[in-house]
Amino acid sequence: MENPKKQIILNEILFWKQNKLLPEQYCDFLLKLYTEGEDIKQQEDVSYKKSIIEKEKRKKRIIALLLILLTVALLVFLFLMTSYFFVAALIAGCIAILFIIYSYQFAKKHDLIAPILQVAAALLIFGISVKVSLVYFENNNIVLYSLLIANSLMWTITGIRLKLLYFKISGLLGLLIIIGYQLFFL
């Protein structure tokens, strides 16, 4: 059973058997046929668990990719929307709040999805604050820098309280970049 194609077929047959997609006699017959009479009782549980784990990982990757695409689309929508800025900011803000709520619910179950939701929410809040500064305080750089510092502080505090290294690093780097820009370029 070193053939990977044969292993894929066996995994599918085991999946059919476990989920009763085919009668058990048919599955047993197909298993005997593809294993050439070898006993696969020991392999059934291992192969089935591997196939389930692979499907769960694939599902998590797809959800993570969709969340990233949604965040990017919302940020683009937020910065391209000029006439109805308030509506775009409201939509992005509501989705950021939903991401934060769901990240706490998924934190224990899904190790990949929760950080993506947290980062997406932080980026949406960051985008909203920059857009508010650019729309309502167009020529006032003090408001823009204040909002950037507030976002960086929020990321740093969140990273410290929730013990998230990526928020600590991004918050501290943001503060260093803003302070460095203020000292050396202004």
Q: Are residues 63 and 105 in the same domain?
A: yes
- Determine the structural domain holding residue 127 and report its residue range: 58-185
What are the tokens at 22?
């085919």
In angstroms, what is the C-alpha Rg of the chain? 25
Residues 158, 80 share a domain: yes
What predicted TM-score, i.e. pTM, was given to this entire model? 0.66
121 and 181 fall within a common domain: yes
Same structural domain for residues 179 and 95? yes
Whether residue 102 sits in one domain with residue 11: no
- Which one-letter amino acid corresponds to residue 43? Q
- Whether 52 maps to a domain, the answer reads no
Residue 135: partners with Cβ closer than 8 Å, 6 or more residues away: 85
How many distinct structural domains can be found in the chain?
A: 2
Check: CB of residue 113 under 8 Å from CB of residue 64: yes
Instruction: Indicate whether 45 belongs to any domain.
Output: no
Work out the angle at residue 113's Cα, subtended by the Cα atoms of residues 167 and 104, and round it to the nearest 5 degrees.
Answer: 70
Q: Is residue 75 part of a domain?
A: yes
Kindly report, residue by residue over 139-161, the tens digit of the pLDDT: 888 999 999 999 999 999 999 99
Same domain, 75 and 30: no
pLDDT band at 121 (very low <50, low <70, confident <90, very high): very high
pLDDT in tens, 30-84: 888 888 777 655 455 556 666 677 777 788 788 888 888 888 888 888 888 778 8
Task: Judge if 31 and 62 occupy the same domain.
Answer: no
